[in-house]
Structure 1
């Protein structure tokens, strides 16, 4: 059995991971878990000015890290919302309550790293389809959707 050579073995050009628009948000699955053998998933996320992102929630089986590329991102951590700027990093471990939004008048872009690399692209694809179609799921449907994707919503 041959083994791959150490080093870089998978290069994905930009065309392989296009930007998906979803209202005031856009995201790009830079490296989904399917590409990284489940080791991690990497998403580039963009929020327009004064845009909601994700209300406080947690995940049971994976962590999320945030790295701000541009603009100002407001993250929920430690029970409060606080601004993060380019170069700032935040880590939400499994069961760590977190959320994000853009409270500023400028767009914000950031990376989200999921570890391990669960199929988070399915969550984002379903959310984008709901926004595109204008479909308003019932509270019961949203609870089932979140449960299917290991997302537990919490009150602030």
Structure 2
């Protein structure tokens, strides 16, 4: 964990990158060494279309701050359209999925508590577009708090 009195910085070309097919993840703050797994902050950039399969987190809140583009979020029974400078919080135990509009988009994602980035690292190793493959997601969801619904 970062010691008090010391900054954790990530430059524009820094951070661990993961190519997940339709989206790319750049980790800004995560893990035992940086946040003590208290939270994960990542930037996601991607193409038009759904970025995941509908899923639920039982013990994690996930929130999104839209930087570029327009997104449609399905959160429980609500459908929310969010553009630049919009914020969407997905409470734990709430099914959700997001899709980027024409031209794709970019957003910050805050996951509390942290550790969820490990699922993305594993999915990145499993091949192109594994993030949206329900069978692959179901196979690894037991290890991560991201259960397809």
Same fold, TM-score > 0.5, yes or no = yes
RMSD value, Cα: 2.4
Which runs of no fewer than 5 residues in structure 2 stay unpaired? none
SS in structure 2 of the partner of residue 131 of structure 1: coil
Structure 2 match to 1:87: 85
For residues 11 and 47 of structure 1, the distance between their equivalents in structure 2, rounded to whole angstroms, comes to 23
The offset of 1:114, in angstroms, is: 0.6
Using the alignment, how far apart are the partners of 1:20 and 1:152 within structure 2?
Answer: 20
State the 4+ residue runs in structure 1 displaced beyond 6 angstroms.
none
Which residues of structure 1 form unaligned runs of 5+?
none
Query: Is the 1:47–1:101 Cα contact (8 Å) retained in structure 2?
Result: no
| TM superposition score normalised by structure 2 | 0.82
Task: Tell me, yes or no, if structure 1 residue 106 matches structure 2 residue 103.
Answer: yes
Q: Which has the larger radius of gyration?
A: 1
Between the aligned partners of 1:97 and 1:133, the Cα distance in structure 2 is: 21
Q: Secondary structure at the match of 2:55?
A: strand
Q: Among 120, 145, 149, which residue is 1:150 paired with?
A: 145
TM-score by length of 1: 0.79
Matched-pair contact (CA < 8 Å) for 2:54–2:148: yes
